[in-house]
Structure 1
Amino acid sequence: MANLIVGESQSGKTTLIKVLSRGKAHIKFSDYNICAVPKEDERLIELWKTFKSKSINFINLDFMDPPGNATFTSLNPQLHEKIQKAEIILYMLPLFREDKDLDEIKNQENELILKDLETIEKLLKNRKLGIPEKAVLDKIQKSLLDEIPLSNMVFREDELKILSAWNLLSIKPIFYIINISNTQLEDEKLLNSIKEKLKDKIYFLFPAKLEEELLELDEKDVTEYLSMYNLSKSIRNLLIDKIFEFNNLISFFTAGEKDARAWKLKKGSTALDAAGVIHTDIAKGFIRAEVIRWDELVKIGDWKKAYQEGKVRIEKKDYIVDDGDVLYIRFHI
């Protein structure tokens, strides 16, 4: 599933796509900009250098930019469907414009709530609803009438299973991208106001002009330039890190002469799960996982020496994979 960028025309959606893709976004469909953004993990780069691998393969996250005016108050059937299928919604608010303020966020959230209330009213008219479904509908209707989006509610696993069939909109996680000018970025009063008003939201400051300027710089100059504005990372890296954190994801690696590759995995997953991510046949024929921390492998320099020094652990299929593990899966077909 893609991460969907929404907002008004001229709000900075396409600029965000440009920044995320470093100017390499491409069109897969007739009217949607799509880009796959690599999570450029320094740990994987070090493994690639260590093994002098022929290729390096980062984890990619997909972002989609609908054309024109794409807001919750201007939903058409196509955008409605894209929101339902999106993993995370990135809502672009052009605060650099004088006609915009942070109240826009509440207005847009209320639109999603209204759409969901309409859906619930239709569902409640279905006489074939079971008791569990009716209970969930009553619960969420009460919340929505209190102007609380479903993303702010807590659900049990059985309730989430029921909810998944209804494709409600306000359950979607929203990251707010606050598009500000370089001058606003230095306005402490404004920044404190944003921090206070959005304290219960996930939001990112997006100085579009500054981020575009970063595209022209060498990597070594980016950190220094960001520090001038008291920023530790570009929005590109901040977004990717937050998406991983929000989705409870970790990275594990495979590395050798042929390639160095990063894989994403849910936190708490097993070695068997990791094998399945690499290939279903590897999971079916799983024998054991040979595991070492990425930094230990880089320090030692190669697998053979790591085995000789006893640094490679032999783990069974129920081993819980840690972020930063390098795995070699033994299997038979």
Structure 2
Amino acid sequence: MALKVAIVGLPNVGKSTLFNALTQTAAAQAANYPFCTIEPNVGDVAVPEPRLDALAAIAGSKEIIPARINFVDVAGLVRGASKGEGLGNQFLANIRDCDAVAFVARCFEDDDITHVEGRIDPISDLDIIETELMLADLESLEKRVVNLEKRAKGGDKESATTLRLVKLALAQLNEGRPAFTAEVAKEDDKAWRMLQLLTAKPALYVCNVDEGSADKGNSLSDAVAARAAKDGAKSVVISAKIESEIALLDAGERAEFLETIGLEEPGLNRMIHEAYKLLGLQTYFTVGPKEARAWTIHVGDTAPQSAGVIHTDFEKGFIRAETIAYDDYVRLKGEAGAREAGRMRLEGKDYVVQDGDVMHFRFNT
């Protein structure tokens, strides 16, 4: 499953510094002027998963393959971007094909780093971003109405469904509400996602704070967290500056540094985990002498659907899944111990996979 998250924000809020830390590269140019990121930078990052290391150690796996997540560093947008200001609509296409959006809000004071609006107010920053995305959605939807009406009148059922959802979204946007506030029936979920509305994407609010606030945040990040709760979004506190320093350390130095500043794990790990929660994702594992591997699935996926993430043939020919809970696998020292203790289960097509399950699939070719 190729999970992709867009990093979005006004210029000089720390987007590219955050991206550089995420990818542990300097691929994105972090500079103190607007639009230093002209083309989107894409970073492929391993999802932090300590359980995978534990499983690999027990099984003696030669290779460890974590799940991956893509982050897209989108060029900073400004007020009026939907009408061509700054880089105009260049950023829109880069966001549309992402699964979620991480809105970076500046929650720190620094006279050496200018703010494009001339003040530090993360809530106003978020309002600007939301407004520009809403205006872009409005323009996109309004262009579709005439053609959809013609097709719907001609008896095209798919166009009729799309038109109904377009009008639903337009009603929300014209009232000044983002598309995610619309009540969409479950049977319309797929068609709704096909609209690719910017304001319908799950949102993660990233509060970029000063080094001294990295553990507990500050009054500015508290305001953003309250805004996220109101919007039904997730929020996380990160000091991009600290994260960029952590990214350069080896594992031993990293643990010591984190302890010194009072953090249990890097903020970037929390950001990735929150993105998973936001999208309703979880992890299962396949483990053996050759490799230990993490696989990303949706919460509620059945055993055949989970097998299909490995290969579509696994889902089509699914027979059963040999399943061990993670805690049982570790406590009983692996597959043999779990089998002897009766903790290996044979699950069928209706089994709903649980986070951390260690699985081996049987299927017809």
**Alignment TM-score, normalising by the size of structure 1:** 0.86
Residues 168 and 192 of structure 1, relative CA distance in 2, 3 Å threshold: closer
> 2:97 maps to what in 1?
85
The match for 1:266 among 276, 291, 298 is 298
> 2:202 maps to what in 1?
173
> 2:51 maps to what in 1?
43
Q: CA–CA distance in 1 between the matches of 2:74 and 2:138?
A: 25
- The reply to whether residue 74 of structure 1 matches residue 81 of structure 2 is yes
The 5 A counterparts of 1:237-248 are 237-248=269-280
Residues 71 and 84 of structure 1, relative CA distance in 2, 3 Å threshold: farther
Task: Write out per-residue CA displacement over residues 200-255 of structure 1, whole angstroms, 9 at most, x where no aligned residue.
Answer: 2433323222222333362432441342xxx5542211111111111111111111
Residues 322 and 147 of structure 1, relative CA distance in 2, 3 Å threshold: same
Instruction: Give the partner amino acid of 1:169.
Output: L
Q: CA–CA distance in 1 between the matches of 2:217 and 2:5?
A: 30
The match for 2:259 among 207, 211, 224 is 224
Q: CA–CA distance in 2 between the matches of 1:17 and 1:37?
A: 10
Q: CA–CA distance in 2 between the matches of 1:45 and 1:312?
A: 21
Kindly indicate whether the alpha-carbon contact (under 8 Å) linking 1:276 and 1:283 is maintained by their aligned counterparts in 2. yes
Q: Could you list the runs of 5+ residues in structure 1 that have no partner in the other structure?
A: none
Kindly indicate whether the alpha-carbon contact (under 8 Å) linking 2:281 and 2:297 is maintained by their aligned counterparts in 1. yes
Alpha-carbon deviation of 1:26?
8.6
> 1:21 maps to what in 2?
23
Instruction: Give the partner amino acid of 1:110.
Output: T
Task: Write out per-residue CA displacement over residues 122-150 of structure 1, whole angstroms, 9 at most, x where no aligned residue.
Answer: 33334315354444333322211221101
> 1:300 maps to what in 2?
332
The 5 A counterparts of 1:121-136 are 121-126=142-147, 127-128=149-150, 130=152, 132-136=161-165
Instruction: Give the partner amino acid of 1:74.
Output: A
Q: CA–CA distance in 1 between the matches of 2:223 and 2:196?
A: 34
Kindly indicate whether the alpha-carbon contact (under 8 Å) linking 1:50 and 1:302 is maintained by their aligned counterparts in 2. yes
Kindly indicate whether the alpha-carbon contact (under 8 Å) linking 1:47 and 1:255 is maintained by their aligned counterparts in 2. yes
Residues 196 and 289 of structure 1, relative CA distance in 2, 3 Å threshold: closer
Instruction: Give the partner amino acid of 2:198.
Output: L
Q: Could you list the runs of 5+ residues in structure 2 that have no partner in the other structure?
A: 30-37, 83-87, 109-114, 153-159
Alpha-carbon deviation of 1:326?
0.4
Instruction: Give the partner amino acid of 2:69.
Output: L
Q: CA–CA distance in 1 between the matches of 2:80 and 2:238?
A: 22
Instruction: Give the partner amino acid of 1:19.
Output: A
Between 259-268 and 294-303, the greater mean CA deviation after superposition: 294-303
Kindly indicate whether the alpha-carbon contact (under 8 Å) linking 1:226 and 1:234 is maintained by their aligned counterparts in 2. no
Q: CA–CA distance in 1 between the matches of 2:357 and 2:127?
A: 42
Residues 202 and 14 of structure 1, relative CA distance in 2, 3 Å threshold: same
Kindly indicate whether the alpha-carbon contact (under 8 Å) linking 2:81 and 2:132 is maintained by their aligned counterparts in 1. no
Q: CA–CA distance in 1 between the matches of 2:104 and 2:222?
A: 19
Alpha-carbon deviation of 1:55?
0.4
> 1:235 maps to what in 2?
267
Kindly indicate whether the alpha-carbon contact (under 8 Å) linking 2:41 and 2:73 is maintained by their aligned counterparts in 1. yes
What is the root-mean-square deviation of aligned Cα atoms in Å?
Answer: 2.8
Name the count of aligned residue pairs.
327
Q: CA–CA distance in 2 between the matches of 1:261 and 1:35?
A: 20
The match for 2:140 among 119, 122, 127 is 119
> 1:252 maps to what in 2?
284
Instruction: Give the partner amino acid of 2:208.
Output: N
Kindly indicate whether the alpha-carbon contact (under 8 Å) linking 1:5 and 1:92 is maintained by their aligned counterparts in 2. yes
Q: CA–CA distance in 2 between the matches of 1:187 and 1:285?
A: 50
